[in-house]
Structure 1
Amino acid sequence: THTQRVVKSLGELAGWEKLSLTEKNILILAALLHDIAKPITFKLDEQGRPCFSDHSTKGYWKGREILMQTFTPPVPFFHREVIVSLIRFHRLPLKTDDNNKVEKLIYMASQTTPLYLLALLAEADVMGRISPDKQNLLDRVKLFRDFAKEKECFRQPKSFFNDHTRVLYFQNQDLDPQAEIKDNTKTEVIMMAGLPGSGKDYWIKKNMPSLPVISLDQIREEIQHPPSGDQSKVITLAKDRAKDYLRKEQPFIWNATSLKYHLRQPLIQLFTSYQARCRIVYRETLFSQILKQNQSRSRVVPPAVIYEMASEIDMPDLTEAHEVVYSIY
C-alpha cells in the first residue's frame, strides 16, 4: 500500500541515519497516520475522480484522538503534538500556489512542526506514490527546504521582533513578517483551555487564586441556561464582563474549554484590541483520568460529549497568543 511504501521510503532517505531514535519514531508514526482521514473524506469530483477534501486537518484531529486514547503507555504529549502537526502540514511542502499565502503557512507550521522532519515526510510521501510526476514533486520539496533554510525556520520556529509582533502577524493578512511593532500591552488575559475534567479550576486555584475569573459554566448557572444548544446569550454576557475588566486594565482569567481555534480567535482579537497580552494555559492528563475526574465535578459532562470534543481539538499554539503554557500532568 501507499502507506507501507512511505514508511519504507523513510529509511532510504539521505539524512535518515543522522536522526535520533525519537525523531525516527515520530516520523514513522506520522507516516503511518498521515492519510488516516482519507477514508472519511473520500468523495468523487465532477469528473468522477477520487478526492479527499481537507484530509490533512481531519487527520490531525483523528491522529491525536488515536494517540491520546488508544496507546498504552501513552505517547508523550510533546512527541504526540509533533506527530499530529506533521500530519496536519504534510502536504505543505508540495504547495506552489499563492506565494504570500504559502509563506505565512510555512511560518505558521514552523511554530509547531520541525520543518526538517516535515520535508523528510513529504519526500517519503512522494517516493511512496506510483506517479509519473515524482520528480516535479521532489523539486517542490527541495524548494520548500531551500526557502525554510533561507528564512531561518528550517530547524527552529520562525522568529519575530517580539511576541506581540508575532501575534499581530498571524492575525493580520497584510503585516510584514519583518515588522518591528512595539509591545504596547497594558494588561493580561489568561485563557484556560482543556477538556472538562482536565483540571482547569485546580490550576487557577493553585496558581492565580486572586485573579477574577469569567467562567462560562458559572454564567450558565446564574442565568439557568443549559450547556447545550444556543450559547450566544452566555457568550455575550461573558464578553461584556471581559470588556469591563479590559477597560479597567484589570487582568482576569477566561475559563472555558477553548478547544476550537474559531472560538478562541475572536476572543483573542478582542483582548488584543484592548491592548491586552494573552496567555493560553492548556491542561491535560491521561484521557482515562480526565473521564474519571469529570465524574467528580459538580457539573458532570456526559462522557460522549467529552469523546466528541477530544476528537476535534485544535491545540493552542504561538500563532495565536503571546504565550502558551502546556500544563501536562
Structure 2
Amino acid sequence: MQKSLQNRENMQLLFLGTLALLVGVTVTVPAQEKRVHRQSDLSDHAHDDSHGFQYDHEAFLGKEEAKTFDQLSPEESKERLGKIVDRIDTDKDGFVSHAELHHWIKHRQRRYIEENVDKHWKDYDQNKDGKIAWTEYKNTTYGFYMGKRIKHLNMEFDDVEDKMSYKSMLTRDERRFKSADRDGDGIATREEFTAFLHPEEFDYMKDVVIQETIEDIDKNGDKKINLQEYIGDMYTPEDGENEPEWVATEKKHFTEFRDTNKDGFLDANEVAQWILPGEVDHADNEAKHLIHETDKDNDDKITKKEILANWNMFVGSQATNYGEDLTKRHDEL
C-alpha cells in the first residue's frame, strides 16, 4: 500500500513539475503541490514500526519533502539528537515529559507549514504588498508558456498539448483560492494563503477537502466513490501479483464501516466521516507512542540516555537519510 501511495504522489509531483517547466513560470511548481485527501497527519508514511521508522522520523523532526539529505553516521546522529533533546527538556530536569515532547512535535508541525508558506510567498507576492491576489497567483502559475504570455490571458492553453488537464488544475486552484479568501476580495492575506496551501488545517476549508477527495478518486464522474475506485486509489496490481492481505481488509472496511448507508458508494457525507473523523491530535498520539516505546523503566517520562538508546526511532535509519534537522545548526531548530 505504501509503495502504491508513494508512487502516486511522485507521479503527481512530476506532472506539476512538468507544468511549471512548460509554462515557464518563475516558481518550480504550483503552490498547490499535492491534493489533500486525508486529515492532516505528521507524515505521509505509514505508521508501521515493523517496516521502519519513517513516520516517527518525520513526526519528530518535521516534514521537509522537497529536499534530500546526506546520510550521517550513527555517532553524528546521536550527537545531534542529544542537542535536540536538550532543547525539548524545557524545564531542564533531565527528563522529557509527555507535555514537552507533545509541544516539540506540534512545534515541528507548525514549522513545516510556516516554511512551506514562506517558500511560496515571495514567488507569488509579485508587487510585494504583503498579500497575494488571485491574479498574481494565476498569472505566475499559469500565465506564461515558453517565455510568452498565453493569448488573451484567458487561460485557454491553446498551445498546450494536454490543455484539459491544465484548465482543470486552474479551475480547481481558483475554487480553492476563493474558499480560502474568507472576505471575498480576491486577495489572500497570509492566513488565507496558508488555508489555500494547507486546507486540511482549517475547519472552514473542509468542504473543499471533501470535494477534492471525491474528484480525485471518482473515475466515472458520478460524484461518488464505488469500491473499485476506493481500492484503485490505493493499489494497482502488477502483472501476476497476488492481492495483498491489506486490500481485502480495506474492502471490508469499505463495506462494513465506510459505506454507512449500504448503497455501495461513498457520498460526500461518508467521505467526510472517512477523511475528517473528528479532532485527532496526531502530535499527542505520537508523543505517547514514542514514550511508550522508549520508556524502559515505565515512569512515563524518558531520559536522554533512553532516547539515545533508541536513536534510530527518533532520527535515523539507512532508508531515510536520518532527517533534515540533523544537518541544521543547533540554533536553527
TM-score, normalization by structure 1 = 0.29
Relative contact order, CA 8 A, sep 6+: which one is greater?
Answer: 2
TM-score, normalization by structure 2 = 0.28
Q: Quick check: which one's strand share is greater?
A: 1
Q: Quick check: which one's helix share is greater?
A: 2
